[in-house]
Structures are given as C-alpha cells and as structure tokens.
Amino acid sequence: MVLAIAESERVRGTTSPNPPVGCVILDRSGKAVGFGGTQPPGGPHAEIMALKEAGTKAQGGTAVVTLEPCSHYGRTPPCTEALIEAGIKHVIHAISDPNPEAAGGVAVLNEAGVTVESGLMRHEVSQGPLRAWLHYARTGRPHVTWKYAASLDGRIAARDGTSQWISSEASRKEVHDMRAKLDAIIVGTNTVKKDDPALTARDADGMPLPHQPLPVVVGMSDLPDGAKLQHTALHLRTHDPDEVLSALAERGVVDVVLEGGPTVAGAFWRARRIDRVLAYIAPALLGDGPAAVLDVGVSTITDAVRLTVEDVTMSGPDLRISAVPQN
Amino acid sequence: MVLAIAESERVRGTTSPNPPVGCVILDRSGKAVGFGGTQPPGGPHAEIMALKEAGTKAQGGTAVVTLEPCSHYGRTPPCTEALIEAGIKHVIHAISDPNPEAAGGVAVLNEAGVTVESGLMRHEVSQGPLRAWLHYARTGRPHVTWKYAASLDGRIAARDGTSQWISSEASRKEVHDMRAKLDAIIVGTNTVKKDDPALTARDADGMPLPHQPLPVVVGMSDLPDGAKLQHTALHLRTHDPDEVLSALAERGVVDVVLEGGPTVAGAFWRARRIDRVLAYIAPALLGDGPAAVLDVGVSTITDAVRLTVEDVTMSGPDLRISAVPQN
C-alpha cells in the first residue's frame, strides 16, 4: 500500500475531478509486477495502468489500490471488469468509494470469486493523497487550504509593507512543490495590486514545474494593466466564497489553496469555507505591520475560531503548522 | 550527572544570586550515597549537602556536580576543601566556574591528588538549570524570558479585550510551575490596571506553591487602589529596561520572566534585553484584538528581529515554542 500511495502522490494534481488513485499489482508469489496512477480525465484509471504493466503476471495475483475499484461505465469501462479479466484473485483497498455511482465494486468482485479486503492504511490515504477528493465527493465543494507565512507575532509584512522574505528559502521551496500538486490557487485583487504574483509552481532555478495550478483572482476591481495574472488568471468578480467555490467545482477543481491577503482570508473564515490551515511561522518579530487575517467574525474570546493542530514540523528555520477547524 | 541535574532543578528559584547547583556522591563502588542541592544564600552548597548525607561512604569516592566546586571563602568555606577532607578521589563536573573569584577549584583538587573531569553534559546544564545564572555571571544582568500566550494569528485578546482563556489549562499549569522556579516576574502598570494579576505560583487547586517569585511592576502610573499587587509588588517607576534590570540585579535576582503587555515587551525588545522567548500559541484565530508586542524597533522586513527556535513541544492542544534572539 505504501507503493500504491507513492503512485497516487505521483499523479496528484493531474486527475481532477477524478481521484488521484495509485495501484500496485502483485503476482502469485507477492512480487510487485505492475504500478499505475490515474491518468488525466478521460484516460485510464490506476488499476488499468498497473494491469497493463503486469501483463500476464497478474494472473492469480493481488491488486493493492488506494480506492475501491469502480464498477460503473463512466468515461472509461469499469476497473472491476478489467481486474477480473486479468485473473486477479485478491483486491486490497484503503478507502471505500463514497460515490454511490462508482461504489459496489466489492460486490461485483466477490461475485466473480475475488476476495476483497478494505481499510488498509485508511488514515494515511484519507489524510494524504485522497483528502481533497474525499472532501469534494462528500460536500461537492473543493477542499480549501489556507496557506500563509507570518512572523511569530503574526505579521505578514513589516510596517512599510515589505514582506520578501518573511519565510525561509526551504519554506518557499515547499510551497512551490505543493503548488505543483494543486488544482487552483486563489488570491484577492489586493494581492495582485500589491505583489503582482505569477502564482506558478517553479523549481529552485525558477523554471516552471510540469504541472501548473489554475490561478484564480477574486474581487470586484479590474486587474492592473500589465499584471502577470492579467491574461492567465480566472477572475471571479465576487466576494462570496460559495460563489467562488461553485465556479471552481464546475471547472472540475478539487484541491485549492487560498493564498489571499487578510481580507479574502477573513471572508472565507466567516463563511466557514476553510478546511485546513497551513501556517509557515518564521521565528522573527516585526512588532507592526498587517496581520495574516482580518475579521474572522469573532468579537469575544469565547467565540474564537478553535483549531486542532494536526502536525508541526520544521521547514528550515521556520515552523510549519497544519491545523483543521473544530467543526 | 542526570541525578545531579535533578538535584539542581529541585532547588532552582531558591538560591539566587548563587547558582542552583546539584551534587551526587558515589562511593568507591560507584553507588550513589549522597544527594544535595545548593541551599538558600548563606546556607551550605550542594557538595556539602551531598557529603553530609554520604558520611564516611564518601571515602575514596566520586563527586558528580553540575558546576566546578568553588575554592574560595565566601559566605561559606570552599567546597574543594570539604571534598578533599571527605576523601573524595574523583570529581566530575559539567561546567567550569565563569566567576574568577570562585574558579581555580580544579587546580586545588589536582594538587590534593583528586582527578577532575569537566564537560560532562555541559549543554544540558548550561541550557537547563544553570542557564540564567551563567548569563548573570557573564553580563551582570538577570536572564530575561519573555513569556506570552497568543492565538495562531498573534492576538493576545479578542476585539472586546477578553483574553481568558486563550491558552489551555495545560499551558497555564506549566506557567505556574515555571513561576515557582523563578526569582521575579515583571509586568507593566497597564497589565495591573487591565487584569489585576496576583503573579503568584499556584497549584491546580489554586493553592500557592512553596516558592513564590518577586512580583515587579514597571511604569510611571500609580497602581490602582485595591490592586492585588499594590502591597506585594516592587514598583519601579521607569520605562528603561536597563534601570529595571540593575534594580533587580542589586536585589540578587538572576532569573526573570517578563509577562508584561505589548508596550513593556516592545521596550525590552528595543533595548535588546530579551534573552529567550517562550510563546504559548493556541490553535485559534481571533482576527482582531491586540498583538503580543508593539514596536520592536523594526520598520522594514530586512530589520526583522530574527530568532532561532530551540524547542517546540505541545502543551495540551497548544504549541510551546522556545526561541532565542540571533545576536
């Protein structure tokens, strides 16, 4: 399953609105003979890719897959059929398909004499490569990560507005690697005016990485002439997070990072449309300058937006904190 | 040495301006037969306490001590003499005495035929129980820890000023346990007016712990009538951190925590008189409300006060971050 997760991570960002699934085929003796990840929409699913590589060695073998194999005709024929035809005798998957159209794979497989085991490394998969897609399948909305970089005292820029660089090179590299696995990045028109970002995923030498997320700008004002995003970004003229998320869901966007400034972040918080916080906290003090978020709809301490810390790691000298809202 | 460090932790907060030293005496066979920590000023040092417990079993044995034994007549006779008289053959210490008056212990011991090994667990001792005292011995100033509790977005209170409680019960308990090992706590007059704190170290039931730090209030205004600190605190009518620290050093204060609000914290930062930051970061967002510190003397990002993170742990649901300024 560890290898199947690695396959799924490899294709993450390129499969939406389909889930980035990974599959490994083991032969009769338990040796891994085929690897596959979901191809872009319309292309083969992970199981098909892995079966293709395994060829006749799949006969009598096992398919290890991060998501329950689909049993319906969508843009591609059902994977259950392909697994049965290839002579697979056992299927092990991490997560059952929450999509009623696709579910039922287990029944079909059992009927054909294939044993099915589900739940292996469920947590790793549901919090890892399939996290955004599972949220999307459950709610119909893209999964929103609010990402920001601030000083220990919560400032995203100094008094004079300068902010390059609060966070370390290591943290900025992490952010670019993350962008390369995303469907979209949202900023506000203020950020475009102030920072003129390109919102591209680049490597250490500044060269674009293979997969690029869709840049999205929200807000009423026009983008300044000559702004890097003027001709590349989807500009949504609204302040309503739900309108933004519906427009993105219609475009097949599943996994979104909000990199907007304090105003856009505040709007998403008030609408309770943030599913995860990713904070890069630089061990530095500024003592003045703008905060990471404004007006989350809290006026007294008992109403504070409470989060649960999922994970804290160091990113170079910075702290990288991942947290989720408590309901 | 681990046991000697534990002895030293046991007396921390009660020995200033002397160092909180710990000592363990091992008999000829290496068995621990005597334990001791420095007694309050004028009382016996750690070595004497441990030798007393060991009695004649010290003959031919080893003294393990966190600081080089003193060789001078101060308020008490030199420890080197007592070790030699008790028949100790080996001394192992973590840290050499930085005080020229007290140093020279190694030479005296060697002359009497005692072997001396120094440097064992040097880092654990210099960053642990002797940290504040070593700073005081080197600079003549008390060691200042700036402690604060804030939300992830850097707020110490909500828009309406309410702040009870941002941090968790676990974090508040830790703070009380820390207070019981301190010499003094500093707040500003604003904090007294706003929060009316007692600055006592209490246990989970609200009962006072055995050792209480000196409460210190800095600022020009009188304390409000009836304030809990009105008759217990040392009130220093100044805004100059160096005047505060000199006044405290004169009183034998070595280890101080600054719990003041944003203005006092800003003054100490501008004067570069903070030696350590201890931040309790609650995983919560407020979106508005006062920041932990104001005006640290930074107006542009390249002048940011840069810190190095020493340690990050969880304190209940909160993050506890210990960091030190980079010169």
pLDDT of residue B194 exceeding 80: yes
Say which CATH number the domain at A220 has: 3.40.430.10
Last residue of a domain, one of A73, A97, A129: A129
Q: Pick the residue from chain A with its C-alpha nearest to B276.
A: A283
Q: Are B122 and B145 members of one domain?
A: no
Q: Are A16 and A158 members of one domain?
A: no
A309 vs B277, B293, B317: nearest CB: B317
Q: Are B97 and B149 members of one domain?
A: no
Asked if the structure places residue A190 within a domain, the reply is: yes
Q: Tell me the chain B residues in contact with residue A307 when contact means C-beta distances shorter than 8 Å.
A: 152, 283-285
Q: Which of A165, A166, A278, A286 to mutate to test the interface with B (most CBs of B within 10 A)?
A: A286
Our measurement of the distance from residue A289's CA atom to the centroid of its chain's CA atoms, rounded to an integer in Å, reads 31
Q: Are A176 and A83 members of one domain?
A: no
- pLDDT 10s digits, A32-76: 999 999 999 999 999 999 999 999 999 999 999 999 998 888 788
pLDDT for res B72: 83
- Percent of chain A exceeding pLDDT 90 equals 88
Q: Are A285 and A155 members of one domain?
A: yes
pLDDT of residue B327 exceeding 90: no
Mean pLDDT of chain B: 94
Q: Whole-angstrom Cα distance, residue B84 to residue B87?
A: 5
pLDDT for res B291: 93
Mean pLDDT of chain A: 94
Report CB contact under 8 Å: B303, A158. Answer: yes
pLDDT for res A102: 65
Report CB contact under 8 Å: B299, A157. Answer: no
In which domain, by residue range, is B149 found?
Answer: 141-325
B89: number of Cβ within 10 Å: 18
Q: Pick the residue from chain A with its C-alpha nearest to B270.
A: A287
Last residue of a domain, one of A129, A154, A180: A129
pLDDT for res B206: 87
Q: Are A107 and A161 members of one domain?
A: no
* B323 min Cα distance to partner chain A (Å): 8
Q: Pick the residue from chain A with its C-alpha nearest to B315.
A: A309
Rg (CA), chain B: 22
Asked if the structure places residue A135 within a domain, the reply is: no
Q: Assess contact for B295 and A287: CB atoms under 8 A.
A: yes
Q: Tell me the chain B residues in contact with residue A317 when contact means C-beta distances shorter than 8 Å.
A: 308-309
Q: Tell me the chain B residues in contact with residue A279 when contact means C-beta distances shorter than 8 Å.
A: 152
pLDDT of residue A304 exceeding 70: yes
Q: What sign for the dihedral angle of Cα B68, B71, B73, B78?
A: positive
- pLDDT 10s digits, B44-55: 999 999 999 999
Model confidence at A327, in pLDDT bands (50, 70, 90)? confident
Q: Are B170 and B291 members of one domain?
A: yes
Question: What is the three-class DSSP state of B160?
Answer: coil
Backbone angles phi, psi at B255, to 5 degrees: -125, 115
Q: Tell me the chain A residues in contact with residue B317 when contact means C-beta distances shorter than 8 Å.
A: 308-309
Here the contacts of A48-53 (C-beta below 8 Å, separation 24 or greater) are: A48/A76, A48/A79, A48/A82, A49/A23, A50/A7, A50/A23, A50/A24, A50/A25, A51/A25, A51/A82, A51/A83, A51/A86, A51/A88, A53/A25
pLDDT for res B305: 96
pLDDT for res A309: 97
For residues A252-275, give the mean pLDDT.
95
- pLDDT 10s digits, B63-92: 999 999 998 887 888 999 999 999 999 999
Asked if the structure places residue A37 within a domain, the reply is: yes
Residue A146: half-sphere exposure toward Cβ, Cα within 13 Å: 28
pLDDT for res A99: 78
pLDDT for res B73: 82
Name the amino acid, one letter, at B113.
Answer: G
- Percent of chain A exceeding pLDDT 70 equals 99
Say which CATH number the domain at B21 has: 3.40.140.10
A283 vs B284, B308, B314: nearest CB: B308
Asked if the structure places residue A68 within a domain, the reply is: yes
Report CB contact under 8 Å: A301, B166. Answer: yes
Q: For residue B246, with 0-12 CB atoms within 10 Å meaning exposed, 13-18 middle and 19 or more buried, which class applies?
A: middle
Query: CB-based contacts of A29: which residues, under 8 Å, 6+ apart?
Result: none
A287 vs B158, B294, B307: nearest CB: B294
pLDDT of residue A4 exceeding 70: yes
* B212 min Cα distance to partner chain A (Å): 29
pLDDT for res B204: 85
Our measurement of the distance from residue B211's CA atom to the centroid of its chain's CA atoms, rounded to an integer in Å, reads 13
- pLDDT 10s digits, B122-177: 999 999 999 999 999 999 999 999 999 999 999 999 999 898 889 999 999 999 99
Question: What is the three-class DSSP state of A29?
Answer: coil
Q: Are B47 and B174 members of one domain?
A: no
Q: Are A62 and A177 members of one domain?
A: no
- pLDDT 10s digits, B89-111: 999 999 998 877 766 889 999 99
Last residue of a domain, one of B132, B156, B178: B132
For residues A198-208, give the mean pLDDT.
90
Q: Are B111 and B169 members of one domain?
A: no
Q: Are A105 and A174 members of one domain?
A: no
Into how many domains does chain A fold? 2
pLDDT for res A251: 95
Q: Whole-angstrom Cα distance, residue A239 to residue A186?
A: 12
Q: Are B150 and B91 members of one domain?
A: no
pLDDT for res A105: 86
